[in-house]
Amino acid sequence: MPTLRKLSSGKHQAIVRKQGYPTQYKTFSKRKDALLWAMNTERRLDAIELTGSYNDWMSLTVSDAIDLYTKERGQFLKAYLDTDKYRAEKVRKALGVVKLTALSPPMIQAFKDKLLSVVSEGTARADLAYLQRVINYLRKDKQMSLPDLFSHIRLPGNGKPREAIPSLQQLGRLLEAMPSDTRPIAALSAETGMRRGEILRLSVKDINLSGRSLRINETKNGTPRVIPLSTKACQILADAMTRCRGGVTAKLFPISPYRVSRTFREAADSIGGYDWVFHSMRHYACTRFFEIGLQAMEVAAISGHKDMRMLQRYTHLSPSTLAMKLG
């Protein structure tokens, strides 16, 4: 039989205990709702026990859970190759051997604390959110009787937006410090404001040099866009097309996202740009578009921003530049 208890707040907490299963808790405003949930939960656990499927789940580790999520859902998401693949490895390294039945909020909290000691709040939040997605997939899509572990975890904040971008002179030094295979990618991002993934997905058929434009078919917000190209961007793409082999569907830059980001950071560190990451090139481009006189709607058409407040976060106008315009 389920246990019901009235809390000091006046609400009713239902508790369902069954041997071999994590204890289930849920709080309701009305006692009848708590009782109904508890009875349904007991029936669901009984049904699982009859089919014997829960015994299969009890043997799964966190690493097994990631494999299942990746196979059935994760690999089909746009974020998989760009970020999720690497977040999965972080989780495996820290918690991979832990059985799902043994995974607990204190373990996740320890993982969170370790992340915060080596990465920013925003990165730690994204890594934890990946693990949360895996757990929620098992709970909601696979109907595994796992507790909502993240209800006891406070995710880190998103962190402050990055404000540091290179000057024109620093950008030149940065590009010189990068290897020849990833240098054009950073230079193209600085000219167009394109994201790393958008550039790496470019193929020959997406480029229209005669019309000085390119088409981005897969974007973060799901809306394809056509962006204009500067003379320098056209030259970068023309050189890439010259080196490209494999026809119109061939990728212009067949390089892993990890290598692009790693070589960028190494080059930035070598010249003192410790606060720069590859995404800083998108910030740099948006700022430059405003500095050369483009209007907000024109910049948004190039960058793909639908929210003007978000576009503002990407723009870091120099006070000295504004002062010169004031006369």
For 42, list phi and psi in degrees, rounded to 5. -60, -40
Residue 327 has pLDDT above 70, yes or no: no
Give the Cα separation of 323 and 32 in Å (integer).
67
DSSP E strands, 163-316: 207-208, 213-216, 225-228
Confidence of residue 50 (pLDDT cuts 50, 70, 90): very low
| 185-199, 202-216, 282-296, range with the lowest pLDDT | 282-296
So what's the pLDDT on residue 161?
Answer: 57
Q: Contact, 299 vs 311, CB < 8 A?
A: yes
Q: What confidence tens digit (pLDDT) does each residue in 169-186 have?
A: 999 999 999 999 999 999
Give the Cα separation of 288 and 316 in Å (integer).
9
Q: Contact, 226 vs 214, CB < 8 A?
A: yes
Give the Cα separation of 252 and 310 in Å (integer).
29
Q: Contact, 46 vs 171, CB < 8 A?
A: no
Give the Cα separation of 281 and 191 in Å (integer).
8
Give the Cα separation of 226 and 212 in Å (integer).
10
Q: State the average pLDDT over residues 275-289.
A: 90
**How does strand 225-228 pair with strand 213-216?**
antiparallel
Q: What confidence tens digit (pLDDT) does each residue in 219-252 have?
A: 777 788 999 999 999 999 999 999 888 888 899 9
Q: State the average pLDDT over residues 246-269.
A: 91
Q: What is the pTM of this model?
A: 0.60
Structure tokens at 26: 């849920």
So what's the pLDDT on residue 8?
Answer: 86
Confidence of residue 53 (pLDDT cuts 50, 70, 90): very low
Residue 210 has pLDDT above 70, yes or no: yes
